[in-house]
Structure 1
Amino acid sequence: MDTTLQDPLLGRLLDGRYRVDARIAVGGMATVYRALDTRLDRVLALKVMHPSLAQDAAFVERFIREARSVARLAHPNVVQVFDQGADEGYVYLAMEYVAGCTLRDVLRERGALQPRAALDILEPVLAALGAAHRAGFVHRDMKPENVLIGDDGRVKVADFGLVRAVDTVTDSTGSVLGTVSYLAPEQIERGIADPRVDVYACGVVLYEMLTGEKPHRGDSPAQVLYRHLNEDVPPPSASVPGLAGPLDELVAVASARAAADRPSTAAELLARVRTARAALSDAALDAVPPLARAGEHDRSEDRTSVLSGPMIRTLPVGDDEPTTVVSVPATEHTARLGSEGLPPSRSPRRGLARRGPLALVMGVLLVLGLGGGIWYINSGQFTEVPPLLAKTESQARDRLSDAGLEVGDVSRRFSDTVERGTVISTDPGVGERVRGGDAVSLVISSGPKVVKIPSVEGRPLDQARKALEDQGLKPGMVTRAFSESVPQGSVIGTDPAAGTERRAGTAVALVVSKGAPVDVPDVTGTELDEARAELRAAGLKVRIDPQEVHSQHERGQVAQQSPRPGERAGEGDTITLALSKGPEMIEVPDVTGRSVDEATATLEAAGFEVDEDRGLLGIFRDTVKSQSPSAGDKAPKGSTITLRIR
């Protein structure tokens, strides 16, 4: 039965805005849904805290802190948070929806990755964490589940629900939060969380991508934690012979047990990754890993847990050295049934001796037959779909045949990310249980879809855009240019040019005609009717600016025009005219008796031009004897004041 049908949030309009359409994932602290923002008409992801945790003020505060923290991280590799709120006990975050899968999905399906692919994923993860570290935050829960890989190939880091300030050690209850397989030793021992715990987790993730399995495994979370504390992460080449030495060194330095031996931030580790990558040959980067074992691990270890912390305590045992005990929550302990109180079983030997060898043989055959039947009903008739992603069609057929399965429908689909001729997906999916002999359908990549750029020359802009979209292309940047032959508003050409082959989804730039070029005539200082007639005769339209301006021209005449005289405009373009209110009249300051320099500065500051009248003897003097216009009179702004120096 599909349990999502019982989810009370499905179909609900949360907070009067977000319509919950489907459940994407369930985590240790929250459930993630695909939703529609009905106000902005966009698809997004809603992360809704489990109702039981919403009653805990500390968890609610942590949830709100995630929204505030991630909203500050404006980075292309961080999942963006749009909104945060609560509705009738449901505390939620509205986040960017990334259509695609998680790194965990990739590891389950493919197992170990080629080094090039592993580094291609690790670098944007470190870039995102580096931005968080620079902003003063630590993620604290890095793992493949929190690395999203979009259908377009973009890598983003999600789930900053445990993000804390760098100087914060544990949560408000003293608990250590995280996922046991990726906790750094200092997190386990002392609850310390600085950027180096994210570096450690990235080292573990890199090991897992290169080998297809986690470095520390155990029958219980307690065993995993113990190994983090007491065992180094082994070199990946121990599990995958032939891996290059720089990859071993990267894993070793990132996952060093002593925090001081690790890079101090993700940005520092990113620099080392790029240096190591530059030293690797193409052959080393493209080394083919062995068949994956990633699907075997206990998925319960992938959940974020709240662990009582610090999780190390020391107990004295007699006169010997103290014994270190790793504490785990009670829910993770294995219950045991004691034998006390059970009646002793009767020995079957005496009865068997009486029945003889024939009865013994019959009993054994009966047990074997019954056991074999039960095994066949429960497991024997089933098998798992083997890992087929990125395998060629021939390889996929061979693997299905080896697994006792048939090949069903084979369809083909364009893909920008999966190599031509290799498997994109299967139905049933990889790892699912099917009956022996059942058919598995394959979807094979046809490679990227390639289309020809259509000819849109001479078409109006909106029609050209639609023609590009119909062809599977994206209309790109629009620039405008003069054209004697193409009407204004129609397309002159495209970049790339028509007939060029490009991948579907490529952006195509458009050059749109501004019409035939026209030299804008100078109509300033003319009457409005005269200006209109002259501009219309040049093939231009006229618009009157409602705001009149002061100018040297008489009231009602054209004071300014845009575009300016002499500039080029397209035929049919609009010229905006501003009419004059007449000159602005300003009171003339009194500068008589002042030095020429002082008088000139005062008049120019008031908005006047200055002319000097020195006469025959004035060239030897420097004092203003009179001025025209006289002090106190009003004169047009910009007019000339004559100073007489005698």
Structure 2
Amino acid sequence: MTSAPTDPLIGQTLDGRYLIRSRIARGGMAMVYLANDLRLERRVAVKVMHEHLAEDENFTRRFEQEARSAARLAHPNLVNVFDQGHDAGRTYLVMEYLPSITLRDLLKQQQRLTLDQSLEIGEAVLSGLSAAHHAGIVHRDLKPENVMLADDGRIKLGDFGLARAVSANTTTGQALLGTIAYLSPELVTRGVADARSDLYAFGIMMYEMLTGAQPFTGEQPMQIAYQHAHSEVPVPSLVSSEATPELDELVRWTTQREPDQRPRDAGEALEYLSSIRHGALPPGATRVLPAPLPDGPSLTPSTTVLDGAQRDLLAAGSEGPQATDDLGASPVVAASAIADAASTGRRRATRGRIVAAVVVLAVLLAGGLGWWFGQGPGSQVGVPQVAGLEMDAARATLASHDLDATVVECSSLDVAAGLAVSTDPAAGERLDRGSTVELCQSTGPEMIAVPTIVGLTLDEAKRVIAAEGFTFGSVLEERFSDVEAEAVLAALGADGEALGDVYPEQGTIDLIVSAGALPDVTGLPVAEATAALEARGLVVDPALGTESHHADIPAGSVIALLPQTDPVRPGDAVGLDVSLGPELFEVPSVSGLGLQEAMDALTAAGFAPSTLVPDPLRGFAVATGTDPAAGDRVPAGTEIRVKSTISL
């Protein structure tokens, strides 16, 4: 059996600087590899254009445009581009390597996101997009696949392969290049895109984060495109309990079919989303879309809805004339001089009694305060709340209450290491002034021993993780291996590295599990092999296949599976090495040669010659032909009977 070929780029060094280590992903235009930058000693991602596209000037121009567009942008929420070049006929782009999953992966894991997750990711995407728009760049392909969620918590927007300058707002023959589910109506109908087109895609993506589904679906791409062009995007709160009225308005505002009714760029949308996330909007305040008011001017996207109090005032104002009539009907009674004098006397008597009562109360209060702070409870102080404070601030707070502090260490799940956790006696208890309080300094979560997880089944691993005081995170990936399906291959900490001997209590543990062994398709017809592989979640790509001769495997059957990644995961593309059958060789003509000379010639050609002539007579025999005949094509090693005559 022949072995599967490896990627020829792996192990190569581009321009004497970028050592290709392994393949990360395959895209429509390029292959992405993990590489070492030998000059700066760092890991980078290298995107190499497919060789069959390198001769196409349009593809090359788009690829180089991605480099120029992305290199102009420097922002914490954008994937950095470091370098671009050509080597050995290959065009490549060097980018920041970001161990991460995509927003699409997260949506597959969780179905829909929480409100906090949606706000955090949305704010990061708009922040990066705002930087691009400010630099005059339109992304044109915003979708969950291009939002990277790094292992260290960073959120970055990448893949500017379809990016264009904002000024290039013209119709193009490739108007539908972006993913159809996120295309704005103007891209669908006119092929025109600007910054507001990115905002439409963002609104669709925000809807999908909150609801777990895209607003428009269909069996054919054009059905989806038609809905984008002719239907309003529904508000997410119709199907999601996470959506708020403010987020409903953000989705409606960014997905208006008319670009002029959307935010002018990502910066304006970011300002509103940040206000939602950080609580800067008053309760109930929302952005509204242009809509005519009765007998009044039109609202704009920057108008805010009147809050409840204002609406009450307006409602009250509508009843104003009736209230005026009621007041006008009330009689006014004039007071007599005698009644006025009596009222004045009563007021003076009341003031005298009040003054006397205040004097008595002041005397009693002065005595009570003296007793309270001298001998009563006032001589004590309450222990203040110091949880979460820096240690110096915690000591200062206690000192301000006339309390001394002695520091002890204790573990805490909630308070970061080095900060104050609590006091003993606890906050709120009363102590004599000058008392000493035990102040607990956090050492972070308690470090506890890590149990054996690798080798367990997924369900067993979840039970062990919970029983030992840790938190199960998620299955980061499945990969094919020799281990049975759903067995744990690796347990990873929050940093994405394998767990050590100890790990913080309640720390999140993510798992990599086995998808079972790769199907053995050797000897199967191509159709059967393809069906078996697809049943296991693999994609058979004919472009990755090869053909070879094989002595034992008949033509049209599979010699070997050709993995393109290591490890191989469900969803990866693979190729097949298909047999051409045994290799055939032409039988040479030996007629007229001496018998022994003819047999030697056939042996040298890779065949097994035979004759009926005894050995003592072979020197007198002359070859007259062969069976199979000269010119026939047969496999190497085939027996060739030499015909001959003997002349004495």
Tell me which interval the TM-score lies in, with the shorter structure as reference length: 0.3 to 0.5
TM-score, normalization by structure 1:
0.46
